[in-house]
Each structure stands twice: as structure tokens, then as C-alpha cells.
Structure 1
Amino acid sequence: MPFCIDFLDNGRVLEWEATADGAVVTEHEDYSPRFYLAPRDPETDLDPTTLQSVYDQHPDVVATEMVSRRPGFRRNDEAVLAVDVAHIDRVTPLARQARQLSNYPVGDLACFNVDFSREFRYCLETGVDPTPASVLSTLRLSVPVTETNNDVYGELTVAGDTVTGSPTDILTTVQGALDAYDPDVLVCSTSEIIPTLHEMAANAGVDDFSLSRWPDVDYQQLASRSTYSSYGRVGHSPARYNVPGRAIIDESNTFFYGETNLDGVLDLVSRSKKPVQELAWASIGNVLTAIQICEAHDRGVLVPWNSWRHEFYKPMGTLHDADRGGFIFAPEVGLHENVHELDFSSLYPNIICTRNVSPDVIRCDCHSDRNDVPGLGYSICDDRGYLVDVLQPIIDARDEIKAAIRREKERDDPDEDRLAELEGRSGALKWILVACFGYQGFSNAKFGRIECHEAINAYAREILLTAKQRLEAGGWRVVHGIVDSIWVTPDPDVDDDDREDLEPLATEITEHVEIRLEHEAHYDWVAFVPQRESNAGALTKYFGKVAADDEYKIRGIEARQRSTPSFIEDVQRECLDRLDATRSPDAVLDCLQDAIKCLHAGTVSVDQLVKQNRVSKPLERYTQNTQNVAALKRARDLDLAVHPGQDIEYVVVDDEKSSRERVALAHEEIESYDPSYYETQLVRAVESVLSPLGWDRSKIRRELAETRIPELTSFANSNQD
């Protein structure tokens, strides 16, 4: 069970297996990756033998053969052309040449199993399981932000210990750690550490330095850095490197390792057949696709290179009805006492599994006369869809893990390491389940279909309406509901004796809709925040005090926003404490006043005022002198590379300026900050807390001006004296 698979230039493959005594390598010389070609339309009279004869003469092709495979879930076995390639790097170029090497009309020929990542392809085609058989050893290497753009590091942290000095000193420390830990996994703060260390060794004449376990190759570059846009959000993908014999986790380019832990990564490795290194840099959709590809492979279904699923014909009325999301009950702005939150467990994945919503069975020809999907009239075949087989094991596994977490927490002496493992695995599976619904509507999804997306939403709307009606009939008033969650409070018009208990109500609803409705939390109070420019409730902005606990549930407001400085977050949380204790806006304003005094007195640490914002484009493409622009100018002057999609951290020192002096980067020596700017941010944060009580920013400012500004003036005068 190799945890790491390396591909050498001569076509050989190295399998590295973790054992208690260190990694063991097995070398293979006979691996030939394979892709397929077939008619896009099964009715097309297309003979692939001509193309086969051309490929047989190609120097990069090992062999070809006609085999029987399914070019799609809705197609039976057909004769397709299989092409075995000499080296894994030649698969995509050979597939691109298919249309150039043939005289077939454009669009008639389709390629399959082309764009797989390297290690995943190897595991899929050879049947290798990349789940490590032994515990993986790790070593972390990190550099401060000031070193990230340097050709020579003057500081490096190795296994938690920081070393400074000459290149030889740093290289000696790294080599010593490699010898001591013999890590299977290198966790790097940035992947650029790998080429930089090797270049330092070459320039310093340190001939025996290498991160690799294979003597002939120090490292390989797998991909260059790039900037991308996804759903309107700009992202940055750093260069990717491979070190033979060790899996690389780049902390600047990993979702699952950052959101969970190594245990979460390994759980998904076992399900997706993507080895550790590829799983670490993969997106949620990439991993979900890999799991689906494994299911398709088991069913003999080929994976299209480019998706070409047309949308089924729909009348205009059906288009109108289908083009909607989940159901939403607008929140009642204000502070509500004694609120209960109920959630449907993994609603969308469970809809897929309980209603058999899958691309291969929705709107099937064999049941075209049925109206299975509420409001849309789509039929769903009785045959079990492949998507159910993909998701049901994940749902079941997460339920078991969550139960194990509850049992561990109930112990007198919980095992923290065991809890961390379970929570990492649960978190990783949660993200896969979260993505499975949206993936069905993604235009580039390998196996998605928009009708599945529409059907899932239709079922979700019906389920939430059913829950609302039954809860109201049981004496509860709905104060908010969104997609899979619903908040209720006792209906004041119903006597307590006539009100039904929530637990049996939730059980009844669960049995009716076949998806578990769970009591998520009981709150002493919940406050729903209005929109900034209207009195309507903001759908995802609320906060509440968990009953019999010191915790708050916070969504959407500043304390949950990644760009919020820690000082602003701390003040907002203290305001929540004041509101919980007193229900008094005056008590909250007292907290605000104290914070403003600290700001103007200069007693707030600059470390608590650091903002973190994402860069959306290169410096030269900005047209306004924003804070980000000022920060990017400072970064450029300091020779620090900040790419679109990456974050930049800074402190606002004079917001009235439009030059680079407007801000200071977080790692610089910062002597002052702009108290007026941060005061504005404080008022905005306090507005979020008080707006459910009818207080907006102007009212807060008026109250400060009438009753608190004299105090600030007196404070300023005494400070001058």
C-alpha cells in the first residue's frame, strides 16, 4: 500500500510504502497509462480502426486494442479504442492529437480517461490502494513572509526550531532533521522552500544535500504557479513540486489539510484513491470527482475528457419552476428569547440517496410518464443511481464518526488525540457532502447534470415546508428558516399545555420525510440582523447565546469575517457579553466607549489591528487608491511577491493618505496606527450587535456625541496636560 508514487523521466515508477522501520521502495518498469477514444454519439457510423492504425505507428504509443467499455452511464458496452502510452506525460498530448490524426468530423470523436492526475491514474489503473499501512512521519519546514521572495534564506524554522545564519548553517540543520526524522511527509509553509534549498546548496557547494529519498533525483516541478477565478473569487495556485519518496503538503496550497488535519486527509485518501500529496492540494470538487471516477471505473464506465451533457428539453413553465434554490423564510429582525434550532442532517446528500437523484437515472426513458419530482414532473428510474453508491457510504461513515465523537466526549477522561482524529475525519467528509449538491449544477463536472440540481432543490423546498407546517401545528412559531435549518420559538398564542414537545415532533417529521431532523441547539436568545440598507432581515447574519453555556453562535457579523482585526473581534464579543447580561444598549455603548478611549490613548497593540485582505488582481490593474493598493506598493518596494488570490496583511496607519504611507505591512516595525479609522470599524461592529434592537450607525453616533464625547474631550485634555 504505497503512500507515495514517483514517475521518473525514463518511464520507471517508484512505489514508496511506509513501514515501522522506514519507507521501502519498489521499482516498476512496465507501467503504461491508457486513454480511450469512442464516437461521441452511439448512432454515429464511425470506425476507429483507421485511427488505430495511425496510433500504432506513433513513437509514444506502446500498444492499441479494441475493447468493450461504456462511454457513459446511459450507454451500454461499446467497442472503443484503447491507447497505451509510453510515459504518463504523453497522455494529454496524444489525446489532443486525435482529431489531427484522423479525418473524422469535429465533435464526432470523444476522448476518455485523459485528464487524471498522475498518482491517481496509476492507482486507478493498477488497482493500488494508496492508504498508508503505517503511521506517516512528518517534518515541517517554514519561512517567515520576509524570506519568501529571497533566493537565499537567512531564517528557516525546522520542526518548530528556528535557525538563522549562513546557507551552510541552515542546510546542515535541515539535513540533520531529515536524518533524525526520516519524514514520509514534508509540510512546507510554501512549496518554494524545496527549489530554494537545493539552489542554496548548489551555490554554497554543499554537494551532499538533498530532500529526496531517491539518489538520482532531488526534486521535480509538477506545475507552475497560476491565478484563477472561481465563482467570482480570485485564487492563487503556487507552483507544485515533487520530492521522490516524500509526500509534499504545501500549507499555502491545501484545503483539506488546512481545514481538517492529516487524519482527515488520510480518510479521503482511502475513499478517493488519491495519494496524500495529491489529496492535499486537491479541491473539494476534485476529490469528489475522484470518488465518482472510482465508482464509474468499477462499473466499466469511461470518464469523458470534456463534459457534453445537453440539458433535457423543458417547457418554459418548467424552466421557471426549476430555476429556484432552496426555500427561505425571511428572518424576523430582532432579539428573540427561547429559540430552538433544528437542522436536517446532510439534507442534500440524503435527498440524493433517499430519492435516488442521480445523473444516470433522472428523466429516464423507461418511466417518462411519471411525475416523481415535486413541482417539476421529472421521472426518476427505479434502478439505483451511481451517485447513491458514491454518497451513502460517506453519509453512513460520518454518522458513525459523529457518534464516536459524542461517546468520547462523554467519557470522564476523553482521549484528545482520538478526538482530533475523529474530528478531522468528520470534517473532511462534511466538505465532500457539502459539495456534492453544487457539483451537479457545475458546467464542467464530469458526471453532473442540471436536472439533478433542480430536483434536489425541489425536494428540499417541499421538505422544509412540510417541517414548517408541522411545527406550527404543534404550537411553535418559525422565526427563520433557510434551506436545511429552521429556528422556532414557542407560539405566544398557544398555551403551554397544548404545545407539543420538539423531540417527538422532530421524530415525526423525520419519519415522514425520511431524513433525520436533529435538534441542533437551544438558545437563551437569538438576534437576527437587518440588512445594511433596509429593514429586511439579512439571511445569514445572526448571533445567539447557547442555553446553559458560555458560548455564542455567530454567523455573518464581523467576529466571523476573516478580514476583521482581532481587537475589533474582541470588542464585538465583549459587547455580546454585555448584551446577554443586561439586554441594554447603554451597556453595549459603554463597552464601545471604553474601546474608543483605548484606541485614542494608543494603548492597543498594533498586532491586534492587523487586517487580512485578499488581493484580486495585479497592482498595475487597480484604478483606485485602496488600502490594498497601498499595501501592494509597500510589498513591491520591499521586494515581497504578493500574487492575485493571495492574502496581504497590514495595519492602517493614516487612512487620509492615498500613498503607500496609508498602511504598514504586518511584519514591519509599526509605531502608530490611525485611531479614527479603527473607531469607525468599531462603530460598524457595534452596529451589528445593536441593529436587531433598532439602533443604526447614525443613532449610535448621536448617542456618543450627546453623552460620551465630553468624556473623550476631557480625556484628551488631561492627556495633553
Structure 2
Amino acid sequence: MAFTIDFLDDGRVIEWNTTVDGAIPTERDDYTPRFYVAARDPDVDSGLTTLQSVYNQHPGVVTTEMVTRRPSFRRDEETVLAVDVAHIDRVTPLARQIRQLSDYPIGDLACFNVDFSREFRYCLENGVDPTPACEISTLRLSVPVSETNNEIYRKLSVGGDTVAGSPVEILNIVQTALEDQDPDILVCSTSDIIPTLHEMATEAGVDDFSMSRLPNVGYQQLASRSTYSSYGRVGHSPARYNVPGRVIIDESNTFFYGETNLDGVLDLVSRSKKPIQELAWASIGNVLTAIQICEAHDRGVLVPWNSWRHEFYKPMGTLHDADRGGFIFAPEVGLHEDVHELDFSSLYPNIICTRNVSPDVIRCDCHREREDVPELGYSICDEQGYLVDVLQPIIDARDEIKAAIRREKQRDNPDEERLAELEGRSGALKWILVACFGYQGFSNAKFGRIECHEAINAFAREILLTAKQRLEAGGWRVVHGIVDSIWVTPDPDIDDENREDLNALATEITECVEIRLEHEAHYDWVAFVPQRESDAGALTKYFGKVAGEDDFKIRGIEARQRSTPPFVEDVQRDCLEQLNATRSPDAVLDCLQDAINRLQAGTVTVEKLVERNRISKPLERYTQNTQNVAALKRAREQDFAVHPGQDIEYVVVDDEKNSRERVALAHEEVESYDVPYYETQLIRAVESVLSPLGWDRTEIRRELAETRVPELTAFARTKKS
């Protein structure tokens, strides 16, 4: 139960286990990482024996041996070369040398089990479960944005308490907290806190400062910062650091900890065998791959270094049919009363499990004559695929957790701590299930296959179309549907006594398609928003009032967009309240007018007007003088580094300017803001609310320009600023 593993520069490996008395280190000096080499074509002499003799002479290799393993799920066991390496950092260089051995008689070879992260490799090869055996403790360290680029911190938050003073004073407070609390996990607002504090200690002559649990070992840098692009979106990966004996969670570089909580992270640790530190910075696909690798390891299947799977031949007609996504029913723009939302539970993962869609069994050779996949005619083997074994336990676990959440909420005095734990675990599993479908079509997926991606979509289209037809036959009118969700309202042409019960219909559809169709929500009304430049409905922009509750479900509009200033979001939500209470555009416009009045009077706090946008490239590569460019110029002027993929926050102070004076950074003292600019933002947000009723921003502006007499309802709402 080693919750973290350290690889020291001197070659030592140390496991850290949690006990009731604290963390206990166990040193190992006999660990030798292993990778494998196999022939791409098992029927061709690949020269593995020659390669073995070459490796046996290499100083970085401890030993080699011929063993039997499966190079892929579609191949049987065969002889492969296992190479044990002296140091974990030598695995990749040694594997890469195969490509340089042109002077030796070796054939077309492939390497396996190469690019594993360090702690994950250790756990996998040694059968170590990195789930902590006892409760683990945390300490949070954070610095204000204005301090992040300083070589010396003047302020620092330690365990929620902000401290300020000289470097020696700050270092003493951090050291005291570490000694008193002895945390297993350091949750840092940025991982740069670690090297900065150690460098401060060096400059100040504080020789005994250390965040490590090991004497004479401070910290290690695991990776430098980098910028990457994924599906057209630029991201930033901060530098990563390691403190021996403790786990580092960088809040600026963690998905699962940010989206769920520590309980969610620990649930995935137990499933993926990735220790906490590695799982915290890992992507969804990275964790899903780790879970798949664990399954492959249990089956004796090797993991390809550079995955390459040719796409099976298919006729042009099949290629055309396969290149489609999920089924979509265009939403009916407007406000619809008495709407029910039905969702298929984990549709894509359940399609994989109920239809046995897996890379190792799709289009198998043994059932070529069968056409198991609708529209495409692909065959699926009767033998259960490995992907089913990966996902079914996750589906079952999430169903159990969701049931436990429902039971807890139904209690007279729900245990909030227990609820937080369950919801964190449920959220973590949800993200894995969300990603499992798309990852089948990802070119770098270790075990993905595009035919699986195509088959899942084909099954999904058939399932949603089946649901639509049955619901309509039962007296319900479909107003929108997308992939795994469908919205219906009573068909006005069908009498109530002839309309079938919705829950009964959902049960019937569930039995028909073998995937549970759940009643997700009942809305008093739902409004579907048109596209900005068209009368057609936007697929993912809608809002509605949940029946019997005070909540609104909001998707796609400004209140759900991360760049929207809080003031604009608050006003939009106020407008939704007015629309719900009155169904009157006039009441909404009164709300808008009131917000504009507050802007013009200067009573809106600057903090409520901060915009947050992601930087997509370096300052020099921008060709237009956008607000982001102005913000980047101000940041550079203040020696404040913002890298592509990171966010920058600012307030627009004069949008007419083209210089750095156009905006002010969020941490600066801002005395004024650009009222016309924020008026435009408000009008845009209100347009989203009123567009389902046929209003656009031109009509909104024209109405505002006229003398307005506020309705009485406008005075009853709660003011927000």
C-alpha cells in the first residue's frame, strides 16, 4: 500500500506506506525496470537473438531473457525479448537504440511497455497497490497571482492562513506547519512554490529548511513546463516537482482533483494503480489507458510503445455511413411548457458492454459473414472483449454509488461528509466513462480502434431512433434529442387518457435496447436558443425551470461560459427568474435596464467585471490588437509570465484603445471600467434569454432607447452586484 514512490538520483527507490503512526519508508535497491521487444510479423525471423547479444553487452542493461507474452490482444503467446534495465531513466533511450542498429541483422521489431510513468511502472511490475491503507493528511500552500513570478514571496497562505513578512519569517512558518502536521499531501496553488521556497532558503541562509521527509534530500524536478495542442485547443503544462515522502498536487495542473475531490482521486488510484501524485496531473485518457494496461497486464498482453493499427478495408459506401456521429434531432426554437428529459444511463459505455464492442473482437476473422453492427455490417466475435472487462466494473460501481447518494439524500439528516465522498467518487468515474468512447478513435490510444468508434455511434443512432419512435407512438412529442438525451412534451393532438405513462414507456424502451432509459428531470418549461446567425436551433444552448424546485438547468449560454464576468452571469440569472415569474419580455428588459443603471452609476464592484480568457499563443504571434493582446502586454510590462494554454484575467477599462491601456489585469487596482463595453455584454446575455421568444439585440436596444416604465415585478427581485 505504497501511496508514493520516490526514485532518488543515487538510484535508490523508496516506498512510502501510510500507517496510524505516520508514513513509513521502505528502501529497495534491487528494482530493475523491464521493457520488451517483439517482431511485428511473427512469421518472419526478426533477429531477436542477435539483439539480445547486443543488449547483453550494454552497461545500462542488467539482464535479458526470452519469455512468452502476447504482443497484442489479437495475437497468441510468442517468444519475445525481455530487457531488465539498471535505472528507470534508461528505459526509453535503450528502446530507442533499436532503431539505430542498422549494422546488425535484425528485422522489423517493436518495443513494448516503454512509455509508462515512473510510479505507475513500479506498481505494475511489483504488484503494488498504491491506495493508502490509512487516512492521509493534507496541507495547502497558495500564493496570490501577483506573487507567482516573484523570486521571493512576500505573502503566502499556509493551511488557509495568510502570512506575510521577510523570507525567513515565511520559511519558518512553512517549516513549523510541516513539522507539526507532517502532511502526506501538499496541495499547491502552483508547483513553483516548491523550488521558490527552497531558493528563498538558500538566499536567506536558512540551511535547515526542507519540505522533504528525507534528510539531505530537498526536491526533484520531474518535468519542465510545456505547451501543447489537443484537438485545436492550446494547453499549458506547468513544471512538475517531487518532494520525497510527500505527494504534490498542483491545483493549476490537475483535472481530477479539481473536478472531483480527494475521494474521487483515491477511487481512481485503486482502479488504475497510478499513485496519487501521478493521477492528480494525469488526463482522463491517461487514467483510462492505465486501467486498460492493468487489464492487459493481467492477461499477459504487452503494451505497444508506438501504437499502429491499420484501419480495416471498407467499401466507399460503408466509409460514408461510418463517418457519422450520434443521432441528433434539431431542437424546436422557443419556450416549451411541461417538458421531460430522458437520458440513457452511460449510453456509450453500456453500448460497449452490452454489444461487446472491443478492439480485439470487432471485425473478427472467425465471424466475417455476420453483420452485427447496424448500417455498417461489421461482425463482433462471441468471445468477450477486454474492453468490457475494463468498463463493466466501473459502470456497476457508479450505479451503486449513485444509489447510495440517493439513499443518503433521502435521510432526515444527510451526512454531508459522506455525500461529498460519494459524489467525488461518482464524478471521477463519470469522466472515465465519458472518455471511453472518444478514446477508441484517438490515434495515439494504446488499444483503440476506429472501427469501435464507428460501431458505437451506429448502435447509438439506432437506439435513439428506437426511443423516439416509441415515445411518439405513446403520445409524446419530441422537441429535442442529442446523442443520449431526449426531451419530450405531451402531444397536444393526443388525449390525456390515450397517452401512455412516461415511466412505463421508459421501462419498455429499456427492456428493448438493454440500456436503462432514466427520467432525468421534469421542467415547468424549457427554452431552446437559436443560433446567433440563423433561426435554426443551437444544439447545446438551452435553459429551463426544474419543476418543483428553485433551480434552473442552463447549458451553453453566458452563465455557463467560463469567460463571462460574474456581474453579467448574475444579471442573466436574474433575467431567467423574471422570465419564469412573468413570461414577460418587459420584465426581463426592466431587469436589464436596472443593471445598466448600476453600471452607469459605478456601483458595480470591479471584481464582478473580471473576464477570464485562455491564451492560445505567445504575444509575438498575435496579429490583431485584441483584449488578450493588451492584457499580455500589461503582464509583460509587469514581468508577469503568462504561457500559451494558461488563463489571463482582466477588466476592460477602455475598449476603444488599441494599446495595453485597453484593459487592467485583475490583480491591479482598477479605478474605472468601460461602461458601454459591459452594456454590450449585458445585452448579448439578455438576447440569449429572449431569443427563444423572437427577440434579437437590435430590438432589445431599440426598446431600451425608448422611455420605459418598469413593471412592478422588477422591484420585487433580489438585487445582485
Distance 2:112 2:482 in 1: 40
Q: 2:629 maps to what in 1?
A: 629
- 2:487 is the alignment partner of 1:487: yes
Q: 2:273 maps to what in 1?
A: 273
Instruction: After superposition, give the CA deviation of every residue in 1:352-395 in whole Å (9 maximum; x if it has no partner).
Output: 00000000000000000000000000000000000000000000
Residues 284-299 of structure 1 mapped to structure 2, 5 A cutoff: 284-299=284-299
Structure 1 window deviating more from structure 2 (694-703 vs 278-287): it is: 694-703
Instruction: After superposition, give the CA deviation of every residue in 1:393-418 in whole Å (9 maximum; x if it has no partner).
Output: 00000000000000000001111100
Cα pair 1:54 1:101 within 8 Å, conserved: no
Residues 408-447 of structure 1 mapped to structure 2, 5 A cutoff: 408-447=408-447
Q: 2:138 maps to what in 1?
A: 138
Q: 1:231 maps to what in 2?
A: 231
Cα pair 2:47 2:105 within 8 Å, conserved: no
Cα pair 1:50 1:102 within 8 Å, conserved: no
Aligned-partner residue type, residue 480 of structure 2? H
Distance 1:245 1:174 in 2: 17
Q: 1:18 maps to what in 2?
A: 18
Q: 1:30 maps to what in 2?
A: 30
How far is the alpha carbon of 1:103 from its aligned partner?
4.5
- 2:354 is the alignment partner of 1:354: yes
How far is the alpha carbon of 1:528 from its aligned partner?
0.1
Q: 1:248 maps to what in 2?
A: 248
How far is the alpha carbon of 1:709 from its aligned partner?
11
Q: 2:510 maps to what in 1?
A: 510
CA gap of 1:233–1:709, structure 2 versus 1, over 3 A, is farther
Q: 1:611 maps to what in 2?
A: 611
Structure 2 stretches of 5 or more lacking a match? 712-721
Aligned residue pair count: 711
2:2 partner SS: coil
How far is the alpha carbon of 1:41 from its aligned partner?
1.8
Distance 2:296 2:475 in 1: 48
Q: 1:398 maps to what in 2?
A: 398
Distance 1:587 1:572 in 2: 13
Cα pair 2:47 2:106 within 8 Å, conserved: no
Q: 1:8 maps to what in 2?
A: 8
CA gap of 1:529–1:107, structure 2 versus 1, over 3 A, is farther
How far is the alpha carbon of 1:569 from its aligned partner?
0.4
Distance 2:507 2:561 in 1: 36
Q: 1:719 maps to what in 2?
A: none
Aligned-partner residue type, residue 339 of structure 2? V
Cα pair 2:219 2:242 within 8 Å, conserved: yes
Q: 2:687 maps to what in 1?
A: 687
Q: 1:165 maps to what in 2?
A: 165
Aligned-partner residue type, residue 674 of structure 2? D
Instruction: After superposition, give the CA deviation of every residue in 1:23-80 in whole Å (9 maximum; x if it has no partner).
Output: 0000000000000001112222212010100100100000000000000000000100
Cα pair 2:45 2:107 within 8 Å, conserved: no
CA gap of 1:710–1:432, structure 2 versus 1, over 3 A, is closer
Q: 1:697 maps to what in 2?
A: 697
Distance 1:402 1:647 in 2: 34
2:612 partner SS: strand
Aligned-partner residue type, residue 625 of structure 2? N
Distance 1:180 1:620 in 2: 48
CA gap of 1:373–1:204, structure 2 versus 1, over 3 A, is same
Q: 2:478 maps to what in 1?
A: 478
Distance 1:619 1:272 in 2: 39
Distance 2:360 2:107 in 1: 22
Q: 1:645 maps to what in 2?
A: 645
How far is the alpha carbon of 1:546 from its aligned partner?
0.2
How far is the alpha carbon of 1:119 from its aligned partner?
0.1
Cα pair 1:119 1:274 within 8 Å, conserved: yes
How far is the alpha carbon of 1:659 from its aligned partner?
0.6
Instruction: After superposition, give the CA deviation of every residue in 1:658-710 in whole Å (9 maximum; x if it has no partner).
Output: 11110001111110000100000000000000000000111111111233499
Q: 1:523 maps to what in 2?
A: 523
1:451 partner SS: helix
Structure 1 stretches of 5 or more lacking a match? 712-721
Distance 2:106 2:194 in 1: 43
How far is the alpha carbon of 1:11 from its aligned partner?
2.0
Cα pair 1:39 1:110 within 8 Å, conserved: yes
Q: 2:717 maps to what in 1?
A: none
Cα pair 1:227 1:236 within 8 Å, conserved: yes
- Percent identity, please: 85
2:71 partner SS: coil
Aligned-partner residue type, residue 354 of structure 1? T
Instruction: After superposition, give the CA deviation of every residue in 1:84-124 in whole Å (9 maximum; x if it has no partner).
Output: 00000000000001121354799811000000000000000
- 2:317 is the alignment partner of 1:317: yes
Residues 56-135 of structure 1 mapped to structure 2, 5 A cutoff: 56-103=56-103, 108-135=108-135
Distance 2:59 2:114 in 1: 19
How far is the alpha carbon of 1:440 from its aligned partner?
0.2
- 2:659 is the alignment partner of 1:659: yes
Distance 1:400 1:106 in 2: 52
Q: 2:715 maps to what in 1?
A: none
Aligned-partner residue type, residue 637 of structure 1? E
Distance 2:294 2:374 in 1: 31
1:603 partner SS: coil
Distance 1:28 1:14 in 2: 6
How far is the alpha carbon of 1:10 from its aligned partner?
2.5
- 2:203 is the alignment partner of 1:203: yes
Distance 2:701 2:106 in 1: 66
Distance 2:129 2:256 in 1: 20
Instruction: After superposition, give the CA deviation of every residue in 1:338-364 in whole Å (9 maximum; x if it has no partner).
Output: 000000000000000000000000000
2:169 partner SS: helix
Distance 1:701 1:709 in 2: 16
Instruction: After superposition, give the CA deviation of every residue in 1:108-166 in whole Å (9 maximum; x if it has no partner).
Output: 11000000000000000000000000011000000011111111111110001111111
Structure 1 window deviating more from structure 2 (296-305 vs 213-222): it is: 213-222
Cα pair 2:51 2:106 within 8 Å, conserved: no
Residues 177-196 of structure 1 mapped to structure 2, 5 A cutoff: 177-196=177-196
2:357 partner SS: coil
Cα pair 1:51 1:102 within 8 Å, conserved: no
Aligned-partner residue type, residue 562 of structure 2? R
Distance 2:387 2:256 in 1: 22
Instruction: After superposition, give the CA deviation of every residue in 1:283-341 in whole Å (9 maximum; x if it has no partner).
Output: 00000000000000000000000011000000000000000000000000000000000
1:3 partner SS: strand
Instruction: After superposition, give the CA deviation of every residue in 1:585-617 in whole Å (9 maximum; x if it has no partner).
Output: 111001011111111111111110000000111
Cα pair 2:50 2:105 within 8 Å, conserved: no
Distance 1:398 1:513 in 2: 20
Instruction: After superposition, give the CA deviation of every residue in 1:463-518 in whole Å (9 maximum; x if it has no partner).
Output: 00000000000000000000000000000000000000101100000000000000
Aligned-partner residue type, residue 8 of structure 2? L
Distance 1:171 1:182 in 2: 16
Distance 1:402 1:413 in 2: 18
- 2:534 is the alignment partner of 1:534: yes
Distance 2:203 2:597 in 1: 54
How far is the alpha carbon of 1:241 from its aligned partner?
0.4
1:307 partner SS: coil
Aligned-partner residue type, residue 618 of structure 1? P
Cα pair 1:352 1:387 within 8 Å, conserved: yes
Aligned-residue CA RMSD in angstroms?
1.2
Cα pair 2:269 2:275 within 8 Å, conserved: yes
Distance 1:324 1:488 in 2: 24
